[in-house]
């Protein structure tokens, strides 16, 4: 089975380092991490891009549920 971790963020610079470390350090890490940011400043986007690469980080101006709906078509793994 393949797994994508979907991370939706908004102004999360304070907590993102711990979340990203936790995702990376799992015994069985996800096959892919996809991040959708809902309008944060450069510090949050920078943390996400530095950790995941620009292809894995998307911006979407909307609510949490809207951001999830935006990301789902980009996911081709069996589990989210």
pLDDT tens-digit series, residues 57-70: 999 999 999 999 99
Mean pLDDT for all residues in the chain:
95
Distance set, CA 33 to CA 5, 65 (Å)? 5, 18
Separation of alpha carbons 68 and 51, rounded Å: 20
Give the pair of three-digit tokens for residue 57. 């980080």
At 34-54, the pLDDT tens digits run 999 999 888 999 999 999 999
Can you give the pLDDT at residue 67? Answer: 96
């Amino acid at each position: 089975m393949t797994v994508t971790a979907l991370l939706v963020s908004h102004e999360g610079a304070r907590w993102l380092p711990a979340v990203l470390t936790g995702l990376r350090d799992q015994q069985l890490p996800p096959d892919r991490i996809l991040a959708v940011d809902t309008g944060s400043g450069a510090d949050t986007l920078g943390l996400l891009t530095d950790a995941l690469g620009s292809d894995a980080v998307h911006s979407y101006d909307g609510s949490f549920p809207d951001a999830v709906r935006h990301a789902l078509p980009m996911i081709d793994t069996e589990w989210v």
